[in-house]
Each structure stands twice: as C-alpha cells, then as structure tokens.
C-alpha cells in the first residue's frame, strides 16, 4: 500500500465537519438526560434504529473541578477524521441493507450517531441518550418506552466501551465494537451484552510475544497506553513473554493527559535503557504525541513493535516521524475490501465538490489505511441485520416491523453466523469475539522517501501452536534500514562450553557465562547447566565435548619404551659377551682365582636381570603383572646371592692364608652353591606366597588423574611387594657390610673393593627409586623402575667384570699367577 501524506488543509475540512457535528442545547426536564441534552451528530429515521458512538474528537480540554458548582460540559478538542470514516461505514452498511431486496425486505433501518469525545463520561451520557431518546417534546411521559435503538455499534476506546457496556448491559442492549480489543471485555459475566468484530488482545498479546521471541529479542522495553487497552494488553503480553523467556527492561504507562514532567521521566528512562526494542501497546493518538517528544529529544534508532492500534496508521508515517518508526513491525487486522465503501466515503469528501482534484489532495480524511476497521463496523451492522432478518420472520417480505425484545435479540445476535458480500465468514465465539487473524506489517521506505506497509507474514490463532506464526524474514527491512535482525539482549548468548549464571538481583535474561568445570561440558548454546562426562570420558579443552580419556602405560612404541628396551638388550648382550670371554679364558689364573662357578652364575643372573626389565614395558596383562615383580625379585636375589657368595669367599680366602686355618673347607664350591640356592629359595617362597594369596593384577587407575586412565599393575598384596623388595635390600645390605669389612684385605684385584663399590651403586639406585615408586603412578614411574633395574645391573656388570675383562684382553701379561700373588704382602 502506498500512501501519500500531505499537509492537511485543516480549516477547510473543519468547516465541513463542524456542520455535521452540532451540539444543540436544550433544557428538557422529565424524560431526558439531566443537564445537557444530547442530539446525534448524524441520524436518519427508520423502522428500527441502529445506534453508533464514535470518538469524533479524541481529547478534551482539561478543566479544574472545584466541586462547588456543577461541572461544565467537556469541551471536546482534537478532531479525528477516522471516527468520521467509521460513521460513514455504518451509514453505508445501513443504506446497502435498506437497498437490498433479500435482507430485511420492506424494513427500513435508521441510525443515530453520537460523539463520545474518547471520554468515558461522555460515552455513558451518549449511550443513555441513545436508549432514552432526546426528544424533549414528551416532557410529561415517564421513561417507560422501549429503548430507542436495537443495538449500538461502536466505541473505539476499550475504556469507554467498558463503561458503556456496563450502563446498557442491564437493558440487554448489545454494543458491537469495531476497535475495542481489551481482553477484559471478553468476560461475559461483567459484560454480557458486549460483542466485537475485532479480535481480543488475548490473542494479540500472545502473537506479539511470540513474534518478539521469534526475532530473538529477550530484552525489550515497553510503552503502554495508560488505560484498559494498554494496561490489560501489556499485562497479558508480560505474562506470555515471561513464559517465553523474554524480559522487560521497563514498562512505562503513557496517556495523552500526562504532565510534561511525567513525560520527561519516560524519555529519560528510554534514553538510559540498553534494550533496542520498544513494544508499543498504544493507540495512534498516543504515538502521535509521543513521537513529537521523541523527535524533540532525538530518540531514534529503536526497533518498534506495534499493536493493531497504530501499526497500520499512515498518519504516523509523516516524513519526520517515519524516521523514528522506520522498520517498525507489528500486527494489523487483515485487509478486507468492502466493495463500494471507499467510493461512498470519498463521495462525501467535501473538497471534491469544490472542484479540486482529490488525487492531488489525499490526506488523512481520505486515507484508507484503516479500511479493515471500517470493515469491522460494516460487519457489525450486518450482524444486526441478519439477526433481525431471522427474528422478524423475513422471507419474501418480513412478517412484522416491530422491534424485537432486547433479550431475545441479544440471544440471537450472539449465535448469528453469515457470510459477507466478499465471502468472509462472520460469527461470535462464546466470548463474543471473532476468530483472531493478524497480518504482520513492516514499515519500509521506498526509493522516493515514501513509506509502505508491507505484509511480511501472518498469525492465525486457529492454527496449532507451532504453525500460528509465519514470517518471511527475508522481506523485512529493520530499523535503521538494515537487512539483519537487530539484537536486543541483556547478555550475549552463552557459547557451548559455558553455562548461564543469573546475575543476582537482575532479571533472568541478564546472566554471566561461566566456563564449565573440568570433566563437565555443555554442547549447546545458552546451556543452563554443564553436564558431567561419563567415567571413561573427559572434557576437551573447549569443554564442549566429552572425549575418551587417554590411556597411559609404557609401551614398546614410544621413544622411552624403545630406549629402555634397547639398553636392556645391550646389557644382556654385554653380559653374554663377558660370559663368552670368561669361558674362552676359563683356564687363565684371573678367571680361576675369582671363583669361576659363581662368576658364571652371576653373569647368568645378570642376563636375566637385564631381560626382566622387559616385562615392565607394554600393556599390563594378567601374566605380565604376575611376572613383573616375581621375576625381578628372584633374579635380583639370585644375583646378589652370587655377589654375597663371592664376598664370603674373599673373606674366607684371606682367613685361609693364615697359618692353621682350614676355613676353605667350610665354604667350598658345594657350600657356595647351596647358599646361593638357599637364599634364592627364600625369595621364591615369598613370591609363591604372594602369588597364591593375593597376586598382582592389571588395574585401570581412574582416580589418580582426572584426564587420563593409568593402566598399571595393582600390587595385590602390598606386604608381598615390600617383602620381596625388603629381602633384596637385606641381602644387598649384608653384602655391602661384608664387602666393606673385606675392602682392606690384600687382594690383587680388589674384588672386595669392587663389590663394595657395586653395592654402593646398587643401594643408591634403589634408595632413589623408592620415593619415585610411591609417588603418583604413570608411565614415568615404571620407567624409573626399569631405570633402577638397568642401572643397578650395569653397576654390577661394570664394577665386577669390566676390570677383569680389561686385563684378560688388553693386558694378558698381567694374567699370570705371579702377578696375582706378587703384591700380596707377606708378614
């Protein structure tokens, strides 16, 4: 729809309208209204009269009531041409019915139309006038006549409609409103005779809230008309909006009679707000006043959301005001065309007769943007006619012209159902309301700075909840002429990985985004809480996904595993080579002197020590766990018993050199073998006990680290473990003490010194190993353990065998008996 708005040639029109609106004075006494008697602005006689009350004026002069004298009648001001259009629509419908041969044939309808001034007081007076009549010639008769009108069409303002309905309700005179949308009027216990052809705000409030939600605005401000329309509509909107998670930053009342001071507070509150969307539950008159103030204070850039009360009103769309409302979006009564109505109204257009071209002079007077409301008036009149048609027994002709009883009429009116000329179905539901259907209107500016009301969607309350609102987002132009939906939120949305935390003392829409704790995630935007990951899962760094926990153990694939394997094999190889060298030179004095049998056993056990470190690498299994500690325990004991044997031999050998000694007999090779076997058997026994009572087993350690699972060997019995370790320690200590005692004894190869030194290394390595072992588990602990095994094995190998190999291979000349014995001091 394209509407050109030019400056209204105000006084020309005023002249014409004043002729129509004529307050006549009268001083009747008996069956007339007290005080001023009221004459209709427009009237025509007929068999049955249809009343009409419209706000030809929208305001009045405020006078101070002194309460000492009778208040003077209200002085109406601010002519509203729309009311004139409403009345023309009523007249058009009446004439059409009068002309029709099928509807109410032979019965003529008349009308009486009054001005309510938009005031409750005036409205009630005019309703009384409509019922009682204003003819002051019947002075002596009491007021016993039936009501003068069958039904009343009108009143725009909800508050006035409420007052009027309460007044005429007891007499069962129906009021059919074309524009009073207050939800409160649906209450049929309070307003039994109220019907309307415009949907109730019950639906409009919901539709508005759903629309606001649809566009993602959760932080909005609101201005409402401070009367029943605005207050009740906004209350319903607030309730629904809260349910949809929308928060109102402010909700301000406004009324045309508000003082300057009060208005300034409103302006201040809007100016200091952070929301970018204003929901206006207002009538066009309020907004006209408000917009002037907004322009004065330069309040622009807000996204307006409007009700049917102003959204399709082109009077607001004058260029300067349009700047503020540009992009506004709201609900409007769907356009319906009433054939001939527009022409009928334009025909009365006064300036046409003056010879001017009406096309050049389009203005509010001939503006048809409120055609849907005009059609509501039209439907109301037809509802009355159809009800009468049935009640008067009309077929070819009507059987009576007598006005039906009001109660009967009202009952039938509530149940009337018919189709208009244009095929639109008209009926009233149980609350006296029509079905709710709205167009969604968007204010857009065309290239030539004109504005258009573009229909961008619709809302139909008769559809299921999820499909009621249909919006074509692409066709909307938003405030400040942008193509993207403006944002109006108190807090930005919380991304995945965080959760909402409401700020204390503020609306629920204002919140902080708190990152999820470790092990918790949120994988949706605006999550209210973080969810704990399952046992084997852990949160990723972004906290938006649970990932499987990393499983940790020392494997053959990784660098550390390969390195340790390498060293253990090198160690085993070196031991084997040493053994080969010893075997090759087994008849040389140096090998013989050093108790070759024990040396070979020691080399064998050292090979096993090197190899047993391999059982610590790789994924722990039932077998590897059992093998690990027992193999380690037994091979080490075997190893140390050999060393111990050697130490004892050194000690004995010295004693043997003393005269009269026969010690060697006590510790010959059979005894040596036996002692090694005995020492080892004790360890084997400990291990067997451990394995049978409570063997080590593979274990998934979930507790120690939150973000990874440690695959380890559970010791089964800690006592078993410490017994094995303790026994090794005991033997090593014993060995060390004996070797220490023997260190000064004359021995060419300082066997005892070497053993002392090797045991020192051994003990040092294992003492450092123990703290590492009892600390947190993981693959590094295992690595330390392997390192300790390798280090102590290498220590033994190097200390005991390296010097001998050196002499055997590089200094063969020293390898003879003389050299060996030569340095032995003889005392």
Residues that bind ligand NAG (CB under 6 A): 19, 22, 24, 26-27, 39, 44, 46, 92, 94-96, 98-99, 108, 110, 298, 300, 523, 531
Q: Tokens for 330, please give them.
A: 């709201």
Task: State the Cα–Cα distance between residues 827 and 821, nearest whole angstrom.
Answer: 14
- Looking at beta carbons only, is 188 or 323 nearer to ligand NAG? 323
Least Å distance between CB 50 and ligand NAG?
10
Residue closer to ligand NAG (CB basis): 402 or 592: 402
In the complex, the smallest distance separating the C-beta of residue 259 from ligand NAG, rounded to whole angstroms, is 24
Q: Which is nearer to ligand NAG, 102 or 587 (CB)?
A: 102
CB under 8 Å to 678, separation ≥6 — which residues? none
Q: Between residues 94 and 510, which has the closer beta carbon with respect to ligand NAG?
A: 94
Dihedral angle sign, alpha carbons of residues 60, 54, 282, 5: negative
In order, the DSSP letters of 548-593 are EPEEE---SSSHHHHHHHHHHHHHHHHHHHHHHHHHHTTTSHHHHH
**What is the closest distance, in whole angstroms, from the C-beta atom of residue 451 to ligand NAG in the complex?**
20
- Tokens read off for 90: 């009523």
> Do residues 31 and 142 lie in contact, with contact meaning Cβ atoms separated by under 8 Å?
yes
Nearer to ligand NAG, 96 or 308 (CB): 96
Least distance between ligand NAG and beta carbon 376 (Å): 18
Angle at 760 between CA 676 and CA 626, to 5 degrees: 55
Structure tokens at 196: 């309307």
Nearest to ligand NAG of 94, 728 (CB atom): 94
**Residue 66 tokens, joined:** 């002194």
C-alpha pair distances (Å), 255 with each of 228, 373, 765: 11, 23, 92
Q: How far is the CB of 99 from ligand NAG (least distance, A)?
A: 4
C-alpha–C-alpha distance, residues 282 and 748, integer Å: 115
Give the integer Cα–Cα distance in Å for 769 and 763.
10
Least separation, in Å, of the C-beta of 23 and ligand NAG?
A: 8
Q: How far is CA 643 from CA 394, 580, 751, in A?
A: 132, 19, 10
Q: Which residue has the tokens 């499983």?
A: 551
Q: Which DSSP helix (H) or strand (E) runs through 693?
A: helix 669-693
Q: Which of 248, 258, 240 is nearest to 280 (CA)?
A: 248
Among candidates 34, 60, 196, 52, which has minimal Cα distance to 125? 34
Looking at the Cβ atoms of 382 and 679, the one nearer to ligand NAG is 382
* 95 or 135: CB nearest ligand NAG: 95
Pairing of strands 277-281, 219-225: parallel
Q: Write down the least CB distance from residue 94 to ligand NAG, Å.
A: 5
Beta strand 277-281 pairing with 329-332: unpaired
H helix count then E strand count, the chain: 24, 27
Q: How far is the CB of 471 from ligand NAG (least distance, A)?
A: 26
Q: Could you tell me the smallest distance in angstroms from the CB atom of residue 349 to ligand NAG?
A: 15
Q: How far is the CB of 347 from ligand NAG (least distance, A)?
A: 9
- Residue 313 CA to residue 441 CA, distance in Å, equals 11
Rounded to whole angstroms, the Cα distance separating 328 from 532 reads: 45
Identity of the residue, 95 or 460, whose beta carbon is nearer to ligand NAG in the bound complex: 95
* Residue 699, beta-bridge partner list: 712
* Minimum distance, C-beta of residue 24 to ligand NAG, in the bound complex (Å): 4
Closest to ligand NAG by CB, 182 vs 521, is: 521
* Of 39 and 773, CB closest to ligand NAG: 39
- By beta-carbon proximity to ligand NAG, the closer residue of 92 and 636 is 92
Determine the 3-state secondary structure of 117 from DSSP. Answer: coil
Residue 170 DSSP symbol: G
Distance of closest approach, residue 218 Cβ to ligand NAG, in angstroms? 22
CA–CA distance, 759 with 740 (Å, rounded to integer): 10
Q: How far is the CB of 521 from ligand NAG (least distance, A)?
A: 7
Which of 131, 109, 125, 123 lies closest to 43, judged by CA? 109
396 vs 587 by CB, closer to ligand NAG: 396
Residue whose tokens read 């109102």? 248
């Amino acid at each position: 729809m394209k509407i050109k708005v030019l400056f209204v040639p105000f006084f020309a029109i005023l002249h014409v309208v004043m002729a129509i609106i004529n307050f006549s004075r009268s001083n009747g006494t008996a069956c007339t209204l007290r005080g001023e008697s009221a004459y209709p602005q427009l009237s025509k006689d007929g068999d049955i009269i249809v009343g009409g009350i419209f706000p030809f004026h929208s305001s009045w002069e405020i006078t101070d009531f002194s309460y000492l004298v009778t208040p003077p009648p209200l002085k109406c001001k601010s002519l509203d041409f729309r009311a004139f259009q409403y009345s023309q629509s009523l007249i058009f419908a009446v004439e059409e019915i009068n002309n029709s041969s099928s509807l109410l044939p032979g019965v003529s309808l008349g009308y009486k139309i009054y001005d309510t001034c938009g005031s409750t007081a005036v409205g009630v007076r005019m309703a009384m006038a409509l019922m009682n009549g204003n003819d002051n010639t019947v002075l002596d008769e009491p007021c016993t006549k039936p009501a003068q009108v069958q039904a009343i069409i009108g009143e725009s303002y909800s508050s006035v409609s409420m007052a009027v309905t309460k007044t005429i309700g007891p007499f069962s005179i129906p009021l059919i409103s074309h524009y009073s949308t207050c939800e409160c009027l649906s209450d049929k216990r309070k307003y039994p005779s109220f019907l309307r052809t415009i949907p109730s705000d019950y639906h409009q409030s919901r539709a508005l809230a759903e629309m606001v939600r649809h566009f993602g605005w959760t932080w909005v401000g609101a201005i409402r008309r401070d009367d029943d329309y605005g207050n009740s509509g906004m209350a319903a909107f607030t309730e629904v909006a809260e349910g949809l998670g929308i928060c109102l930053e402010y909700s301000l009342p406004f009324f045309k009679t508000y003082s300057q001071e009060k208005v300034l507070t409103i302006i201040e509150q809007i100016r200091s707000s952070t929301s970018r969307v204003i929901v206006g539950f207002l009538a066009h008159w309020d907004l006209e006043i408000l917009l002037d103030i907004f322009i004065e204070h330069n309040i622009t850039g807000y996204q307006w959301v409007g009700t049917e009360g102003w959204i399709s009103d082109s009077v607001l769309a004058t260029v300067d005001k349009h700047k503020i409302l540009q992009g506004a979006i709201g609900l409007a009564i769907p356009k319906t065309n009433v054939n001939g109505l527009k022409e009928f109204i334009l025909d009365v257009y006064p300036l046409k007769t003056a010879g001017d071209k009406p096309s050049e002079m389009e203005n509010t007077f001939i503006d048809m943007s409120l055609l849907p409301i005009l059609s509501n008036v039209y439907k109301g009149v037809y509802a009355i006619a159809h009800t009468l048609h049935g009640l008067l027994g009309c077929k070819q002709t009507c059987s009576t012209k007598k006005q039906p009883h009001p109660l009967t009429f009202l009952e039938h009116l509530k149940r009337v159902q018919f189709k208009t000329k244009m095929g639109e179905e008209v009926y009233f539901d149980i609350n006296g309301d029509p079905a709710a259907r709205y167009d969604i209107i968007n204010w857009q500016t065309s290239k030539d700075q004109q504005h258009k009301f573009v229909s961008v969607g619709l809302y139909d309350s008769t559809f299921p909840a999820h499909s009621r609102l249909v919006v074509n987002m692409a066709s909307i132009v938003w405030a400040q002429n942008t193509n993207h939906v403006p944002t109006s939120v108190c807090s930005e949305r919380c991304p995945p990985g965080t959760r909402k935390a409401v700020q204390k003392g503020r609306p629920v829409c204002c919140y902080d985004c708190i990152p999820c704790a470790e092990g918790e995630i949120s994988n949706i935007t605006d999550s209210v809480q973080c969810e704990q990951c399952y046992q084997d899962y852990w949160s990723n760094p972004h906290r938006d996904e649970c990932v499987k926990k990393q499983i940790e153990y020392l494997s053959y694939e990784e660098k550390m595993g390969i390195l340790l394997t390498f060293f253990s094999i090198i160690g085993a190889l070196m031991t084997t080579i040493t053994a080969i060298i010893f075997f090759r030179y087994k008849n040389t004095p140096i090998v013989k002197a050093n108790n070759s049998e024990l040396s070979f056993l020691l080399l064998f056990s050292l090979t096993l020590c090197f190899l047993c470190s391999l059982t610590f690498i790789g994924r722990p299994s039932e077998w590897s766990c059992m093998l690990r500690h027992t193999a380690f325990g037994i091979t080490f004991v075997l190893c140390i018993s050999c060393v111990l044997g050697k130490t004892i031999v050194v000690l004995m050998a010295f004693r043997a050199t003393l005269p009269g000694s026969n010690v060697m007999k006590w510790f010959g090779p059979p005894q040596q073998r036996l002692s090694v076997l005995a020492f080892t058997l004790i360890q084997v026994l400990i291990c067997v006990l451990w394995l049978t009572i409570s063997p080590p087993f593979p274990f998934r350690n979930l507790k120690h680290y939150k973000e990874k699972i440690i695959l380890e060997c559970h010791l089964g019995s800690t006592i078993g473990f410490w017994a094995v370790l303790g026994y090794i320690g005991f033997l090593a200590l014993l060995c060390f003490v004996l070797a220490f005692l023997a260190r000064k004894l004359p021995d060419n190869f300082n066997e005892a010194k070497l053993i002392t030194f090797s045991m020192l290394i051994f003990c040092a390595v294992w003492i450092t190993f123990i703290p590492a072992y009892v600390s947190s588990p993981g693959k590094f602990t295992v690595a330390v353990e392997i390192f300790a095994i390798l280090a102590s094995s290498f220590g033994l190998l190097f200390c005991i065998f390296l010097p001998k190999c050196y002499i055997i291979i590089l200094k063969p000349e020293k390898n003879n008996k003389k050299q060996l014995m030569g340095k032995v001091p003889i005392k």
